[in-house]
Amino acid sequence: MIELKKITKTYGERTVVNSVSFKVEKGEVLGFLGPNGAGKTTTMRIITGYLAPSEGEVTVNGYDIKKDPLKVKGAIGYLPELAPAYPEMTVLGYFRFMAGIKGLSGTVMGAAMEKVIQQTNLDKVKDRIIGNLSRGYRQRVGIAQALLSDPPILILDEPTVGLDPEQIIEIRNLIKELGKDHTIILSTHILPEVTVTCTRVVIINDGRLLSVGDYNLSRGELHGDKVYRLVTAREDNGIAGLLESIPGIKEVKKKNNTFTIRINGDFKNPASITDAVFRAGYGVAEFSSGAVDLEDEYIRLISQDRGGVQ
């Protein structure tokens, strides 16, 4: 649905996005992750057609952003980091204004406005002045305007920045609901945002895509490897050595009696791991997939890219 091919953006001698390539498939919620200043916002502005790339190609919903910019923009609902709302307008007045810009009118406009109000739980504040709303409600207004034309794609840039913990939870839950019907790119530098709301992750730093930058959080996949969590009945230093000796296991991380095990993607029999542990006389309290430690991997990749130590 979205494909970037070697996108580069330069300003004079400064390169802010450097040959970035990745795809977003239909129905995915993609976490676009990186530290502040990594190039996330610039990349998203290129995808939306707000900025032109210096080099490279972008296709959105089958359309080239250079050849068919209006069709690309029509397929995308965009929430910038600062919600684009006029503080002197009421919520309904703002929605009427934005719906008109998006080409909606009459009963279609009314139905679209009612739908986004219900989707974003804004019914109680729809007649209020936007400038008098809390930051959380203003973010909801921003997301609602992105939804007005019912686009297949949503691009959300730091949607929870500046919110309090309760507001963050509300917006995360909203994004998860929207992910059922929309393809979403969620840009953030906050790791919990990604682990809670996203199915896949791309990591960027200093304008460059790091490594493969591709994780499937829901299936516990990391660069094509599988990641499992093993909790033993008691702590014993010998278990780590036992696990590392099993063919196909690439890495074992130990914390007390909990082990994070990274296995080759073609490893066919994960049950052999627990069998080996049982045969060695150790009890198993838990063995599960989906144990990607995104924080550890993120820190490792950023540290490597900056020339640091893992």
Residue 92 lies in a domain: yes
Residue 308 lies in a domain: no
User: Sorting pLDDT into bands at 50, 70 and 90, what band is 43?
Assistant: very high
Q: Are residues 246 and 168 in the same domain?
A: no
**pLDDT at residue 117 greater than cutoff 90:** yes
Give the global pTM: 0.76
Q: Which residue in the block uniquely carries the two structure tokens 């080996």?
A: 276
pLDDT of 242 strictly over 80: yes
Q: In sequence order, what E strands does the chain have? A: 2-11, 14-24, 29-33, 55-60, 63-64, 76-79, 153-157, 183-188, 200-205, 208-209, 215-216, 221-222, 225-232, 249-255, 258-263, 284-289
Q: Is 305 part of a structural domain of the chain?
A: no
Output the pLDDT for position 24: 92
Domain range for 270: 222-291
User: Do 22 and 171 belong to one domain?
Assistant: yes
Please report whether residue 66 resides in a domain: yes
Helices then strands, counting H and E runs in the chain, come out as 10, 16
Digit-coded pLDDT (tens) for 68-111: 999 999 999 999 987 788 999 999 999 999 999 999 999 999 99
Please check whether residues 110 and 250 belong to one and the same domain. no
Q: Are residues 247 and 119 in the same domain?
A: no
Read off the pLDDT of each residue in 242-262 and give the average, rounded to a whole number. 87
Same domain for 228 and 209:
no
238 and 207, same domain (yes or no):
no
Same structural domain, 261 and 243: yes
pLDDT value at position 310? 45
Query: How far is Cα 100 from Cα 102, in angstroms, rounded to an integer?
Result: 5
Tokens of 184: 């979403």
Q: In this model, does residue 213 exceed pLDDT 60?
A: no
pLDDT surpassing 50 at residue 167: yes
Average pLDDT value for residue range 50-77 = 94
Is 161:81 a contact under the CB 8 Å cutoff? yes
260 and 148 together in one domain: no
Helix (H/G/I), strand (E/B), else coil: 2: strand
Q: What is the pLDDT of residues 20-37, one digit of tens each?
A: 999 999 988 999 988 888
> pLDDT, tens digit, for every residue of 266-285?
777 888 899 988 888 888 99
- Provide the CATH number for the domain around residue 253: 3.30.70.100
Distance separating alpha carbons of residues 59 and 57, to the nearest angstrom: 7
Mean pLDDT in residue range 117-131: 95
28 with 105, same domain? Answer: yes
Candidates 177, 220, 165; CA nearest to 195 is 220
Do 159 and 45 reside in the same domain of the chain? Answer: yes
Q: What value does the mean pLDDT of the chain take?
A: 87
Q: Does residue 32 share a domain with residue 88?
A: yes
Rounded CA-CA distance 45/82 in Å is: 13
Q: Are residues 182 and 232 in the same domain?
A: no
